[in-house]
Structure 1
Amino acid sequence: MNLKKITPSLSMLMAFEASARLGSFTKAAHELSLTQGAISRQVTALEGALDLPLFIRCGRHIELTEVGRRYALDIAPALARIRGASTRALAFYGGEGGQLNLGALPTFASRWLVPKLASFYQQHPNMVVHIHSRIGEYVLQGTGLDAAINVGVEPFSGLLSERIVPEEMIIVCSPKLLVRNPVRSIEDLFSFRLLHIMARSEAWRELATQYQINPRSALAGPQFETTIHLIQAAVLGIGIGLVARCLVENELNSKELVELPFKGLSAKRDYCLLYSPDKEGHPVLQAFRAWLADQIIESHSL
């Protein structure tokens, strides 16, 4: 097949896509800052290159043929991706500005990261950090993400990492729950409904083993895909949660939750910023890493 025939010029495609979307050569010309005649010639050239009728012309009125309608639907997303790629490239190399696509665990993003981001924008008003919620393991290659925040144990295969905060897990519940049912011993604790996070489904069993209690005692209770829902359930008194301290600081400060006087699980994992070596020179990532380091120092000093 003739590659030239099936690879029309971008100017032809842009003229056709705009005309198809707007239903008018005149409107397409206005959008693309061309003359109506130039748009008409580009569309005619495209029809000639493809040897297909894309429009039915009735005077000044145009109407897509069926093949034209299907062709317009197919090329519109491709042109949008090209425009998006160009926008991102310009932003990346646009002086002090730029964009960072950051994947983050949803609860960590909402509870730890986003509340602090105002200071990043004060320091870098022309930069933008897009936050994409992700749960589970990250494979950055091919995702469109420049970096990610995940929880795990270093090293992360093929990625550079920087620690943010340890995953120290503490035992929390609503104070209203304790009024009804006091917890005087660790054995009392395991008589309550225990709230589980799917990604850390073994946590309560680890705690039971730590206190030499039958791990089967830790099996009962609802599971939640995101920690934010587990926290909400704990605040409402549905059960007792075993959760990272950094995710419930607001509830502890407001007394919506209280920390029970039993040692939870020591940090075996850390929340980390992850990025591939080829992204190390990304200007917005460099700025974000420097800002993040300041936040970590500030958190430790509190």
Structure 2
Amino acid sequence: MNYRHLTPSMSLLLAFEAAARHESYTRAAAELSLTQSAVSRQVQALEQQLGLTLFRREGRQVQLTDVGRLYQGELSEALGRIRSATLQALAYQSGVGTLRLATLPTFGSKWLLPRLHAFYGAHPGMLVHIHSRIEAINFDTSEIDAAIGVASHDLPGLICHRLHAEELVVILPPDAAGDAQGWSPARVSGEMLLNVANNPHAWGEWFSHHGLAHRSMRLGPSFELTSHLIQAVRAGIGIGLVPRILVEEELAKGELFSPGLAIASQRSYYLIYPPRNEALPSLRAFRSWLLEQI
């Protein structure tokens, strides 16, 4: 076998990877600053070189074949390693590193950002670009280097550093503090209970912990962001069950009231990233700093 056929040019691979990720020649062309016809020609050239059909074409639409999807998965990982190696070399040469970090929005604003000045003080010249993400990160199709998220266990295929066990605490409006002793689990169970979309079972765990019947739950509105739920509690819309780490400031200032009644969640906060990024100088510096904070 001619090994040159097994190593297509980078231009062909980049065109295919972008087209496969978007399943669109138009969006791939916009990303690569090429014309749609140029992307189409490069994908066709790659198919001819490999002797494979990577896309099915239906009118103006393209869809990956099974072999195309398999090739995309392997290729995305390989290109990610190449980009990581390039970033490492550039960071080593310049002495400056950049980290693209995804984090849960409320954790980022309430916990990470107030402390990040200490990281910059210890590592002048390094930059951490913060990307707010609620959904799980696909490191093969995004340009994110690492992420901070919540999970109940280590995630397969990723390096995971457990940062903080999640403790869920009941929060009420500040005027509820006037009857601090009266907030029993039974009383809480009769109130409107607000939810965060990415942890829909939190109140169920809380009810089970306190031996309360789930059928008595009065579930109220659900919020995508924990910060929005916190504001809803302050406005008197209902009662929240949130990670203590996200409301410590409000509780200390009396802007929220908690009668206690906390439970240990099954989830923890993690720093996660693919193995190929482990040696990134910026990630190594940030990881060491972050673990020291915890």
The aligned amino acid for 2:166 is E
* Partner of residue 146, structure 2: 147
Deviation at 1:203, TM superposition (A): 1.0
Deviation at 1:267, TM superposition (A): 3.0
Q: Any idea what SS the aligned residue of 2:205 has?
A: helix
Deviation at 1:261, TM superposition (A): 3.1
The aligned amino acid for 1:185 is S
* Partner of residue 53, structure 2: none
Matching of residues 179-218 of structure 1 within 5 Å: 179=178, 183-218=182-217
* Partner of residue 266, structure 2: 268
CA distance in 1, matches of 2:273, 2:88: 19
CA distance in 2, matches of 1:77, 1:253: 47
* Contact 1:174–1:257 (8 Å) recurs in 2: yes
CA distance in 2, matches of 1:185, 1:89: 55
The alignment-based identity, stated in percent, is 39
CA distance in 2, matches of 1:162, 1:291: 13
Q: Any idea what SS the aligned residue of 2:241 has?
A: strand
Bigger CA drift: 168-177 or 285-294? 168-177
CA distance in 1, matches of 2:239, 2:114: 26
Bigger CA drift: 173-182 or 284-293? 173-182
Q: CA RMSD in A?
A: 2.8
Question: Quick check: 1:281 aligned with 2:279?
Answer: yes
Q: Any idea what SS the aligned residue of 1:281 has?
A: coil
* Partner of residue 239, structure 1: 238
* Contact 2:190–2:218 (8 Å) recurs in 1: no
CA distance in 2, matches of 1:244, 1:193: 18
Deviation at 1:181, TM superposition (A): 9.8
Larger Rg: 1
Deviations 1:11-70 (A, max 9, x none): xxxxxxxxxxxxxxxxxxxxxxxxxxxxxxxxxxxxxxxxxxxxxxxxxxxxxxxxxxxx
* Contact 2:171–2:239 (8 Å) recurs in 1: yes
TM-score by length of 1: 0.66
The aligned amino acid for 2:105 is P
* Partner of residue 99, structure 2: 100
Deviation at 1:109, TM superposition (A): 0.7
* Partner of residue 160, structure 2: 161
The aligned amino acid for 1:273 is L
CA distance in 1, matches of 2:275, 2:120: 25
The aligned amino acid for 1:202 is H
Q: Any idea what SS the aligned residue of 1:164 has?
A: strand
CA distance in 2, matches of 1:212, 1:289: 40
Ranked by relative contact order (alpha carbons within 8 Å, sequence separation 6 or more), the top structure is 2
Shift of the 289–107 alpha-carbon distance from structure 1 to 2, 3 Å rule, reads same
Deviation at 1:99, TM superposition (A): 0.6
Deviations 1:84-114 (A, max 9, x none): x8x9677534432011111111111111111
* Contact 1:168–1:266 (8 Å) recurs in 2: yes
TM-score by length of 2: 0.68
CA distance in 1, matches of 2:252, 2:131: 28
The aligned amino acid for 1:176 is D
CA distance in 2, matches of 1:250, 1:144: 33
* Partner of residue 78, structure 1: 32
Question: Quick check: 1:124 aligned with 2:78?
Answer: no
Q: Any idea what SS the aligned residue of 2:142 has?
A: coil
Equivalenced residues, count: 221
Shift of the 239–181 alpha-carbon distance from structure 1 to 2, 3 Å rule, reads farther
CA distance in 2, matches of 1:227, 1:106: 8
* Partner of residue 295, structure 1: 293
CA distance in 2, matches of 1:295, 1:278: 24
The aligned amino acid for 1:156 is L
Deviation at 1:237, TM superposition (A): 2.1
Shift of the 88–79 alpha-carbon distance from structure 1 to 2, 3 Å rule, reads farther
Q: Structure 1 unaligned segments of length 5 or more: list them.
A: 1-6, 8-73, 297-302
Q: Structure 2 unaligned segments of length 5 or more: list them.
A: 1-8, 10-27, 35-82
Deviations 1:179-202 (A, max 9, x none): 489744211111211111111111
* Partner of residue 36, structure 1: none
Q: Any idea what SS the aligned residue of 1:268 has?
A: strand
